[in-house]
Amino acid sequence: MRQRFVAGNWKLNGTRQSISTLLQGILSGMQDVKNAEVAVCAPYIYIPLVAESLKNSAIVYGAQNVSEYESGAYTGEISAPMLKEFDCKYAIVGHSERRSIYNETDQQVAAKFVAAQNFGIRPILCVGERLEERESNDTENVVARQLDAVIAKAGIESFREAVIAYEPVWAIGTGKTASPEQAQEVHAFIRQRLARKNPEVANLVQILYGGSVKPDNARSLFAQADIDGGLIGGASLDASGFLSICCAAN
């Protein structure tokens, strides 16, 4: 049985004050979250604050990105050993906003995945198709290409220490959620793709759904056989909404 997992992606949001308030709100309702591991992925600069606020709590935390390089002349970057120093458990890699706005390639995402794992950080690998790709029946090709780039570089065994998030780009921040059946279809495809290399790894890897998950649609998404939880953007900025989503994984 795979552990349920709900991760919040705060993106470029928050202040010291709002993050402290948000975390206090989430912490105060955590006794109702019985089954899911809960993580928050904060803007880099707030990670020390998050670490301090979550000390001795059941909530873990991570970053929204990580450099593929360990150190050197890469102005503005943050590396996996730096994140490790602050005890980040997770780092999101290949979020569609990074792929589209910052032109991150499949190969770069794969390098970030490996860089995180080299320092004991579990990558949350995001994959997903754009609207035009879905409309031209290319969803599986796109997801397979994104996945295969990481399998080729990191190896199938690396997925024992990783999480995958299926996030259809057309559903992110748009209020349009994939139906539970649409999401399940792609999740099953991802698991089958991994199973071609190693069925045991495919069976144990957690595959999250992301894309306008809200308290009112989380339960039906999480009820699908291959959906193990969610990567939550907008709704993770509201403590009670985020807690409802975490409880939907119960």
Nearer to ligand PEP, 156 or 246 (CB): 246
Phi, psi of 41, rounded to the nearest 5 degrees = -110, 110
Q: Is 187 a catalytic residue?
A: no
Catalytic residue among 37, 68, 97, 167: 167
| Annotated catalytic residue 95 | yes
Smallest gap from residue 236 Cβ to ligand PEP (A): 7
Return the number of the residue (9 or 184) whose C-beta is nearest ligand PEP: 9
CB of 98 to ligand PEP, least distance (A): 10
At its nearest, how many Å lie between ligand PEP and the CB of residue 9? Answer: 4
Q: Which is nearer to ligand PEP, 201 or 228 (CB)?
A: 228
Nearer to ligand PEP by C-beta: 149 or 232?
232
Q: Which residues bind ligand PEP (CB under 6 A)?
A: 9, 167, 172-173, 210-213, 231-235
Which residue number is nearest to ligand PEP in terms of Cβ? 233
Q: What are φ and ψ of residue 60, in 5° steps?
A: -105, 175
Shortest distance, CB of residue 97 to ligand PEP, whole angstroms? 7
Single out the catalytic residue among 95, 104, 133, 187. Answer: 95
**In this structure, are strands 206-210 and 229-232 parallel, antiparallel, or unpaired?**
parallel
Q: Which is nearer to ligand PEP, 108 or 217 (CB)?
A: 217
**Sign of the dihedral through C-alpha 152, 146, 185, 61:** positive
Q: How far apart are CA 174 and CA 187, in angstroms?
A: 20
Which of 90, 70, 92 minimizes the C-alpha distance to 81?
70
Residue 93 Cβ vs ligand PEP, minimum distance, rounded to whole Å: 12
Would you please indicate which residues are annotated as catalytic (active-site) residues? Answer: 95, 167
